A and B are shown apart, each in its own frame.
Chain A
Amino acid sequence: MHHLEVRDLNKKFGSLQAVEGVSFSVEQGRLIGLLGPSGGGKTTLLRMLAGLERPDGGAISIGGRNVDALPPQDRGIGFVFQNYALFKHMTVVENIAFGLKVKKWERARIYQRVAELLALTGLIGLERRYPHQLSGGQRQRVAFARALAPEPQLLLLDEPFAAIDAKVRKELRTWLKEMISRVGVTSLFVTHDQEEAVEVADEILIMSQGRLEQKGTPWEIYRAPKTPFIATFIGESTALHDLTTLAPFAEAAVSIANKASLEGHDELQAFVRPESIEISRSHERQPSSAALPGVVSHVQFRGDAWHVEVQVGAQRLTARRPLAYEPLSLGEEVSVLVHRLYLFAGQQSWIVENPFLSLQREKERIV
């Protein structure tokens, strides 16, 4: 039994298909990151889950109960808005207590719950402040406490960190992750920052142009992107124009290309990630048939690594080089070792490991 189930959700604004055929399910207590480019339909999806937007088609059930006919008031959800939408004329305490008063909780119980949430969100001392007297991070926490107060079954957060500066943002998202796992509420949060999604979420849903592209753990999505879009969206993949320049992969690529064209897909797309490329000076590693010769065409310091671009034949590749190694200079001849690349044709995808490399490892093990 899944806690949240979405079946074939559709939404059109005029002629624009904002959400198209989205289906997925979420287990109880999971924290899901909804990731995708701007205009991808993330907010629209979230608003439909909350009942703030009426879907054109599809079904939503929360906690095993179909909520399609229910207004937002009765869905048992908490919503944290992008700009927090705190009630401006109410204090922190009044904001947090609002949902409880609406539900006619007893006074003593409200008092206790609010005190509990104030402590949980670290807002003690700010009880009597109005929203305009709070910092962005504090407002965010009030919004979180307010949404959480009536004990929702599902917490929806629309870009909860968007309006907060980079440093506080990092602290807040760790805080949020802890908080949600402590409370144990199933949560969905929208972001268009992939680092944020990867760091915080148990699972990621990637949406683009209204469609759900892939769902999986951050590692699954990183390791095995299902579509070229995801390969380029998660991590900075480089598209390869001509597979024959990467000699070690040519054979595998040709066999996959044949298989694909048999199935009617003639367009084979290939991507390689900077993290799976190793660049070394010739004396740093034994020459091997797995590696290719290349020429350094650009070097840049990126804080935690060297960002290196190399020209291999007609193909320019982007790679990282650890700071522990000596910096490379422009025009230097290097050996380029590509560990794996991603191939896509139609709906199918393949991860191809460097065949010579695995051969080499095999040998080393035997020796």
Chain B
Amino acid sequence: MNQRLLQGSLRSLVLLYFAVLVALPVFAVYGKGLSLGWEPFWQSVTHPLALDALWLTVQLALLAALINAALGTLTAWVLVRYCFPGRRFLNSLVDLPFALPTAVGGLMILLLLGPNSWLGQTLTSIGWEIVYRPPAIVIAMVFVTFPFVVRNLQPLLEELDPAEEEASYTLGASKALTFRRVILPALLPGLCGGTLLAFSRALAEFGAVVLIAGNLPGQTLVASVYIFGQVESYNPQAAAAVSVVLLTLSFLLLFTMNALFGRRTAR
């Protein structure tokens, strides 16, 4: 009886939490975005600057997510498979982007690569302009979403049975083939999940990007900064309209991910 009660109240608590912290704000955004009807919503979204911002964001976020897929796999592999001094320290460092205010992340990139830094000047002198241009945005996005892929892959890598790899070798498969046919399929759910999360998060990144993007409308203005600008200029409906696009995209990604891998993880 008590057990039942406990279960019931726990469940209600979770639902309440979900409603207040997730569902209500999401509905508020959809409500606001569509508050003036379909026509103004459509106009806000298809406004050339909004479209540019959205398209730029999607492109750069995708690039950042792909970079993280590769970089994260490599990092997770090294952290799990190799034993070297400082491994534990590096491992704890992976979470740094989550622990830092993202603005600090942006500032770090600015200080490292900005026009006043040694590295920034050197790169400019060979014709590579990074800060206030798209590459800086990608770097910021990669930095902020770095932990997703690593942390998604680590448990899977640790769980891998080394005997499976050895079996593959004894059956004649080379290291590369074994990685592709035996290891990668086992990592795929974590890799896709981590990459999608990184993509989702990169779409929404504000703090790190705003400091280094330059925010030139039509050129380096990403969606989140555009939304911020619309709110600042007393245009909440347009801000919400663009947010609705981002939100819907995120939801689609989450659902795809669940449909693809949910069943496997539920097993």
Contact = CB atoms under 8 A, between A and B. Distances in A.
Same complex origin of A and B: yes
A174 to B, nearest CB: 25
A79 B172 contact: no
Contacts of B177: 102
A66 B169 CA distance: 19
Given A83-B161, A87-B182, A150 B167 contact: no
A64 interface: no
A363 interface: no
B164 A87 contact: yes
A150 B171 contact: yes
Given A83-B161, A89-B186, A102 B173 contact: yes
Nearest to B186: A89
A50 B170 contact: yes
B161 A72 contact: no
A72 B163 contact: no
Nearest to B189: A89
Interface string A54-82: 00000000000000000111110111011
A81 B173 contact: no
A278 to B, nearest CB: 49
Contact of B170 (A78, A83, A86, A87): A78
Interface string A93-108: 0000011001100000
B166 A81 contact: yes
B171 A146 contact: yes
Given A83-B163, A89-B186, A99 B169 contact: no
B164 A85 contact: yes
Contacts of A89: 185-186
Nearest to A82: B163
Contact of A85 (B166, B172, B186): B166
B169 A52 contact: yes
Contacts of B168: 87, 98
A87 to B, nearest CB: 6
Most chain A beta-carbon neighbours within 10 Å: one of B163, B167, B181: B167
Contacts of A75: 170
A335 B118 CA distance: 100
A79 B167 contact: yes
Given A73-B172, A87-B182, A102-B177, A52 B164 contact: no
Contact of B163 (A81, A102, A147): A81
Contacts of A86: 164, 167
A47 to B, nearest CB: 8
Interface string A133-173: 00000000000001100100000000000000000000000
B169 A73 contact: yes
A89 B170 CA distance: 18
A88 interface: yes
**For A50, A82, A88, A103, which residue has the most chain B Cβ atoms within 10 angstroms?**
A88
A168 to B, nearest CB: 22
Contacts of B258: none
A102 B163 CA distance: 18
B171 A102 contact: yes
19 contacts: A52-B166, A52-B169, A71-B169, A72-B166, A73-B169, A77-B170, A82-B163, A83-B161, A83-B163, A85-B167, A87-B164, A87-B182, A88-B164, A98-B168, A102-B172, A102-B177, A103-B172, A146-B167, A150-B172
Interface of B: 161, 163-164, 166-174, 177, 181-182, 185-186
